[in-house]
Structure 1
Amino acid sequence: MGGEAKVTEIVNNFVTEVEQEPVILAYFEGSDIDRFIAKFEEQICMVSGGGCQYTGDTMEQVHGGMNISEKDFNLTVDLLINAMDKANVPHPLQNRLLNKLAPMRSQMLYR
């Protein structure tokens, strides 16, 4: 992916994308954004093979009660793609990361 600096760039870009998308921003109301940033960086580092350990809650715990629709989930994926584009992550690497994250989808939807 490009190391820790690239992961941080992607996550910061993602937060900016979310801040500009009111539908998705509503899901973050009351969230500890600093914790979100730290845990999302761990998660991306781990799934991209960076040797990190994810120490956050399960996806079910994090997303429980949010009742995230498939439409909103897909919009969030689009925001992540935008964040990676802005960080100049090549599309093949983006696809590999999304492929690793995709199995978590069922742990987030309609919970």
Structure 2
Amino acid sequence: MSSMLEKLRLHSVLLALLMMALFGCQSISSPKEDALYHELGGTKGIEQIVDIFIYEIGENEVVVHHFEDTDIDRFREKQIEHLCVLSGGPCEYTGDDMIESHLGMNITETEFNSMTNSLITALDKAGVSLGARNRLLSILAAMRGEIIYR
């Protein structure tokens, strides 16, 4: 069962990347509409997603070591801002850029994929639709190069 779930998650990530390649990625700095924001449940929905995501990170043995010295309250706040902005919501992201915040972490592809799986789990647990989930993942996938091997 776990193997099948992992295959489905990997398939979803690959599908999102394919969709991004085929249709282009909408600008992550200034989304043109707020439909995704509303599909994620607005600010309350995004807060729920981030809270579940933080729990999932804590259970993720592959990546949890990267968060040992992290101010979790600040991390939560910046994740909420970031997802809000990326989904077209009425927020302002006040955190560091992706390259700066991942500098020196040397995140591997395996760790990046593991974090993606933790996010997929959080989105599923929060009841986010498959379409909204894949649109968000395609936006986030565009930042992959700013995160891994830094």
> What range is the shorter-chain TM-score in?
over 0.9
CA distance in 2, matches of 1:54, 1:100: 15
CA distance in 1, matches of 2:121, 2:146: 23
Q: After TM superposition, what 4+ stretches of structure 1 lie above 2 angstroms from structure 2?
A: none
CA distance in 1, matches of 2:49, 2:146: 22
Deviations 1:12-65 (A, max 9, x none): 000000111122110111111110000000000001111211110011111110
SS of corresponding position for 2:136 = helix
Alignment equivalent of 1:3, drawn from 38, 42, 45: 42
Which residue does 1:98 correspond to in 2? Answer: 137
Alignment equivalent of 1:75, drawn from 106, 114, 131: 114
Q: How many residues align?
A: 111
Matched, 1:65 2:104: yes
Query: What is the TM-score of this pair, normalised by structure 1?
Result: 0.97
Matched, 1:43 2:82: yes
Q: Work out the percentage of aligned pairs sharing the same amino acid.
A: 46
Q: Deviation of residue 84 (structure 1)?
A: 0.4
SS of corresponding position for 1:93 = helix
Query: What is the TM-score of this pair, normalised by structure 2?
Result: 0.72
Q: Deviation of residue 79 (structure 1)?
A: 0.3
Runs (5+) with no aligned partner, structure 2: 1-39
Q: Deviation of residue 2 (structure 1)?
A: 1.1
Q: CA RMSD in A?
A: 0.7
Which residue does 1:29 correspond to in 2? Answer: 68
Q: Deviation of residue 11 (structure 1)?
A: 0.1
CA distance in 2, matches of 1:50, 1:94: 16
Rg comparison, structure with higher value: 2
Q: Is the 8 A contact 2:46 2:83 kept in 1?
A: yes
Runs (5+) with no aligned partner, structure 1: none
CA distance in 1, matches of 2:56, 2:41: 20
